Structure 1
Amino acid sequence: MRVLPAVYRSTLVPPSLHAGGLAAVLWAGDGARVSHTTAARTYGAELPGNKPHIWVPPDRAPKSELVVVHRGVVAKNDRWMREGVPLTSPARTLIDLASMLDCETLEAVAEDFFHRAVTTPMSVQRCLDASGGTGRAGSQSLRSILENRDQAPLQKRLEVKLSRLLLGAGLRPVRQFKVRVANRTSFLDFAFPALKVAVQGHGFVAHGGRMHHRDDARRLADLASVGWTIVPVTWEAATGEPDVVIDQVRSALAEAAA
């Protein structure tokens, strides 16, 4: 089955992200590698994407309506291989994504990479520094994300939303604050330890299932027994009623301080 000019796929092999990326670099020739959203999805990012994205050397200009071609130089240490497919390193991939994604989505992908140890903030910073100044599209957004984060990576999209919401309201909580009660350890999404108030993305430790909800209830009871106030926030509340969420957090903080 013809996929691209001079590139064919056996009908016994189903279409896949891997197959699409490999077909694109084979079609583009030497020096091509999977990049941008296609590389990010290869590393496990949850991003939409139909056409494969690739980098090609600046002296090449292959064209196809089925492939998004970017021309430029990829540094040697950012040329990776994954399951036989050449692609950009995770750090370089984030830099490329910065020119395509809005700040919140970019932060969500970056925090996901950091949480899963796909790459590190230091690696991204080094790649940014090596790629030039602030003139690269999106580079300032990525630098801002690195500069404003703390050491604990955010684990899900709701946490990124809550982080931006709280910081935008002038609140400075501690991320992933560790609390141990009754031989059980809980990690609070955003905590104000001095007042024992925490903001938690619903549903708390895990999602779905009777056992998970029972464990959540037990941990909440443990935290309440030692004086913690938990402000649960759903995705719907964070996106649809952000002012209400901030009012709830401020009220909890004021009550704890009284």
Structure 2
Amino acid sequence: MTDPTPIFRSDLLASGITADELRQALRSGALAPVAPGAYLRRADADGLDDVARHRARARCVQHALGGDAVLSHVTAALFHGADLWNPGLSRIHITRDRRSGGRRTDHLHVHTAPLARDEIFVAGAAAVTAPARTIVDLARSLTVDEAVIAGDSLLRIHPSALMGVPGALDAAAQRCGVASARRVVGLLDGRSESPGESLGRLRLRSAGIPEPSLQRELFTPDGTFVARVDFFWEELGVVGEFDGMGKYGAGDPASTAESVRREKLREDAIRDLGFEVVRWTWPELFRFDVVVDRFARAVGRARHPHPPTATTPARRTPRAAIHPARG
């Protein structure tokens, strides 16, 4: 992750640029304001999306507040490169190791809380809360869906953070929201590879569907790799797949057609191993009863396969060799 470097008014004036020259650079558009007293070159500013703009603003705010200001919560998660769902990006989050002095405005939230040295991490040349601390802070302050998406993503990026989460929870024992955080942490799994997979896992749990294995590799009996699947219920004979749709090459009809063809062949190969396939899309995560019914029908078919007919020839369907995902 490489963000453009902000240019600070104080540095420009110290280098000999006059206030009039600075005003002219702003009027002409050569410089774009990103925070009070901080600017980006116009070419850099125009290339920023909302997340990159938040990070640029955060670096400026941290510079203005001084060395004890550590980026935290949603802001830290963005510096770690985590997935966030519907994040509020208007407010920069800072934590200071102080007993008082917290404040919240439309654009800044200063948290005051104990902050040990091993809870500080350097990301993109900025001091941010370490992954385990960030997971717990988010679990205390976001909804369950939002916190699980962020927590799964942080564990995927920083697997070793899992070892630090219990200690981070203990350190937060007297802070607001820690009871919710303990429940959220019990739901996290860094093997989920997208926000949709994280939400799917939560929806399956809420529906009372047995816990699936995640990211399992399927092979033919002779050892040929067939597929790596999102969700897998070996005993039920069912594979679950979240359709993120982005993989289908939106905007490029030829690419989309080829992606769909390959996905169809992949699904046929999974069925040839004797497994039923249940798929769901992002909108269906919010009307999951449709998926629950689909899952029940798939389980029924897996347990009671249709008898062969003239148009449905009998076939051998040996169950696949199964391995946890590698890497």
Asked if Structure 1 and Structure 2 have the same fold, meaning a TM-score greater than 0.5 normalized by the shorter chain, the answer is yes
* Stretch deviating more after TM superposition (60-69 or 160-169): 60-69
- After superposition, where does 1:70-219 map in structure 2 within 5 Å? 70-117=111-158, 120-129=161-170, 131-133=171-173, 135-149=174-188, 153-172=191-210, 173-181=212-220, 183-202=224-243, 206-208=247-249, 209-210=255-256, 211-219=258-266
User: How far does the alpha carbon of each residue in 1:186-221 deviate from its partner, in whole angstroms, 9 at most, with x for none?
Assistant: 222222112321121125994434343232122111
Alpha-carbon distance in 1 for matches of 2:175, 2:100: 21
Aligned match of 2:282: 235
Alpha-carbon distance in 2 for matches of 1:193, 1:179: 11
2:77–2:154 Cα contact (<8 Å) kept: no
* SS of 1:98 mapped into structure 2: helix
1:4–1:24 Cα contact (<8 Å) kept: no
Alpha-carbon distance in 1 for matches of 2:95, 2:191: 29
Instruction: Kindly report the root-mean-square deviation, in angstroms, between the aligned alpha carbons of the 2 structures.
Output: 2.9
Question: Given the alignment of the two structures, is residue 248 of structure 1 paired with residue 288 of structure 2, yes or no?
Answer: no
1:98–1:142 Cα contact (<8 Å) kept: yes
Aligned match of 1:257: 303
User: How far does the alpha carbon of each residue in 1:97-129 deviate from its partner, in whole angstroms, 9 at most, with x for none?
Assistant: 123210011001111122233653222223223
| Structure ID, larger Rg | 2
Alpha-carbon distance in 1 for matches of 2:239, 2:115: 43
Alpha-carbon distance in 2 for matches of 1:11, 1:136: 37
Q: Which amino acid aligns with 2:125?
A: G
Alpha-carbon distance in 2 for matches of 1:165, 1:11: 43
User: How far does the alpha carbon of each residue in 1:209-241 deviate from its partner, in whole angstroms, 9 at most, with x for none?
Assistant: 43432321221111111111101111112213x
1:90–1:118 Cα contact (<8 Å) kept: no
Q: Which amino acid aligns with 1:139?
A: V
Alpha-carbon distance in 1 for matches of 2:186, 2:202: 14
TM-score by length of 1: 0.84
Alpha-carbon distance in 2 for matches of 1:120, 1:60: 28
Q: Unpaired runs of 5+ in structure 1?
A: none
Among the aligned pairs, what percent are the same residue?
A: 23
Aligned match of 2:71: 34
User: How far does the alpha carbon of each residue in 1:134-178 deviate from its partner, in whole angstroms, 9 at most, with x for none?
Assistant: x4333333332433456x611112212221222122221222222
2:80–2:123 Cα contact (<8 Å) kept: no
Alpha-carbon distance in 1 for matches of 2:123, 2:238: 44
How many matched pairs? 253
Provide closer, same or farther for how the CA distance between residues 8 and 92 of structure 1 changes in structure 2, counting only shifts above 3 A: same
Alpha-carbon distance in 1 for matches of 2:127, 2:292: 45
Shift of 1:59: 5.2
Alpha-carbon distance in 2 for matches of 1:192, 1:17: 41
1:34–1:55 Cα contact (<8 Å) kept: yes
Provide closer, same or farther for how the CA distance between residues 177 and 29 of structure 1 changes in structure 2, counting only shifts above 3 A: same
User: How far does the alpha carbon of each residue in 1:58-99 deviate from its partner, in whole angstroms, 9 at most, with x for none?
Assistant: 256376843211112211101122233211111111111123
1:21–1:85 Cα contact (<8 Å) kept: no
Aligned match of 2:16: none
Partner residue of 1:9 out of 23, 38, 59? 38
* SS of 1:74 mapped into structure 2: coil
Aligned match of 2:61: 24
